[in-house]
Amino acid sequence: MQDGPDEDDGGERGDGEIEKKARDLVRLALFHEQRRLPLRRDEISKKVLGSGTRTFNAVLASANQILHKTFAMELVEMQAMPSDKDMSDKDADLLKNTGVKKKAAPTGTKSYILRSLLDPALIEQACAPDVEIRELEQKELVDENEEFAEDDNPIGQRSTGSIFAWHDSDQLASTGILYVILALILVEGRVISDNDLRAILKRLQLPASTPIPLSSQATAQSVTIDAYLAQLTRQGYIEKHRVGTAAGKGGNKRARATQAPAGTDDHLQAFEWRWGPRALTEVGERGIAEFVAEFMAGQPGQGEDGEEDAVGASQDEGTQKRVQIIFKGIERAAAGGQLLEAR
């Protein structure tokens, strides 16, 4: 008669332990996300699971339920960019004969990041300009609007008129530069030399000494381009390799994303930049290509005459066609391979 209650109590204790570890995992993931650093599997085992490493899947599933319900986010494993060594002989012949490379499936990295689960359509609606919201912002930010307003824009550059207050964000500049860097790597065939990247950034008024503003939570208000590239490398968005070494599994170790001191052989080496696993997992090649295509074809929310469309209005047929043409061009520029989606 005693076996039943004991088994029930054991099951309850087991479920309660998993729930407790799930909450601990959520806190640990949020802490890492605040610093924008990946959370490694071995750190989860050490700080959350302890000796119960076999409960990882159950704890992760429970933690994702909490994240989904509370923050509309999920904890996912970062996927590494497939390397040329992952190609079969058949794929290698295809690349040699046609110039088209079939991309291998991404592989797990045993590192995890938080990713938003908000519906893209909801984000698009929240970002769309609204006249009434802009009028309210104009009244609330009079001094700021007077400082930044232009003759042809009485509302001011910082009054976006959207539900998302982008004008109050302190990460727009750094995120924008990140997306530019990812786009440059993509259209250069998924790899760009260090010299070419710096030359293009310089033409975009971003020389090495340019201060990049950071989040208000960062220890420094701004960093240089070199320091920003090093930060993006630590966060997993990009990777720096010596020219001639393979990226991904089986390749040589990544080079440090800092300039080697003069007098050493390293500073004579040529380097190249590739996408990192966080970029593929967080935004994906297709996401960056769509962003560039829409930007070049005409900013969303604007019609042919430059006037803003009504909130929620779809792009006109001509703009959609230009977006498709530019997207196909980016796809061809990316070494002829199919663009990978965030996963």
> What confidence score (pLDDT) does residue 34 get?
86
Contact 211, 217 (CB under 8 A): no
Residue 96 has pLDDT above 70, yes or no: no
Q: How many CA atoms lie within 13 A of 240 on its CB side?
A: 22
Greater pLDDT, 131 or 228 = 228
| pLDDT, average across residues 2-22 | 67
Residue 198 has pLDDT above 50, yes or no: yes
> What confidence score (pLDDT) does residue 307 get?
45
Residue 89 has pLDDT above 80, yes or no: no
Outline which parts of the chain fall under CATH 1.10.10.1200.
17-116
- Distance between CA atoms of residues 305 and 318, nearest Å: 13
> What confidence score (pLDDT) does residue 121 get?
86
Instruction: Quick: pLDDT tens for 208-259.
Output: 888 888 776 667 778 899 999 999 999 999 999 988 665 554 444 455 444 4
Residue 150 has pLDDT above 70, yes or no: no
The continuous run of DSSP H or E covering 271 comes out as: strand 271-275
Using DSSP, state whether 80 is helix, strand or coil: strand
> What confidence score (pLDDT) does residue 304 get?
45
Burial 122-132 (b: 16+ CB within 10 A, else e): eeeeeebbbee
Confidence of residue 315 (pLDDT cuts 50, 70, 90): low
Mean pLDDT lowest among 44-48, 128-132, 150-154, 235-239: 150-154
Mean pLDDT lowest among 66-70, 113-117, 266-270: 266-270
The continuous run of DSSP H or E covering 240 comes out as: strand 238-242
- Distance between CA atoms of residues 326 and 296, nearest Å: 8
> What confidence score (pLDDT) does residue 62 get?
96
User: In the 8-state DSSP scheme, what is residue 306?
Assistant: S
| pLDDT, average across residues 161-171 | 69
Q: Which two tokens stand for residue 269?
A: 């080496």
- Distance between CA atoms of residues 77 and 113, nearest Å: 7
Residue 314 has pLDDT above 60, yes or no: no
Greater pLDDT, 323 or 137 = 323
Q: Nearest-CA neighbor of 178 among 139, 133, 134, 223?
A: 223
Residue 26 has pLDDT above 50, yes or no: yes
| pLDDT, average across residues 305-319 | 54
Mean pLDDT lowest among 167-176, 218-227, 290-299: 167-176
> What confidence score (pLDDT) does residue 152 get?
44
Q: What angle do CA 314, 170, 192 make, to 5 degrees?
A: 75
Which class for 265: exposed (0-12), middle (13-18), buried (19 or more C-beta within 10 A)? exposed
Residue 287 has pLDDT above 50, yes or no: yes
Residues of the chain with pLDDT > 90, as a percent, come to: 38
Give the bridge partners for 271, in sequence order: 242
User: Tell me, which fold does domain 17-116 have in CATH?
Assistant: Arc Repressor Mutant, subunit A (1.10.10)
Confidence of residue 165 (pLDDT cuts 50, 70, 90): low
- Distance between CA atoms of residues 52 and 14, nearest Å: 11
Greater pLDDT, 247 or 74 = 74
Mean pLDDT lowest among 28-32, 184-188, 262-266: 262-266
Burial 295-312 (b: 16+ CB within 10 A, else e): eebbebbeeeeeebeeee
**pTM (2 d.p.):** 0.74
Using DSSP, state whether 274 is helix, strand or coil: strand
Residue 261's CB is within 10 A of a number of other CB atoms, namely 8
Q: Nearest-CA neighbor of 80 among 112, 106, 53?
A: 106
> What confidence score (pLDDT) does residue 240 get?
93
Q: Calculate the average pLDDT of the chain.
A: 77
- Distance between CA atoms of residues 276 and 108, nearest Å: 12
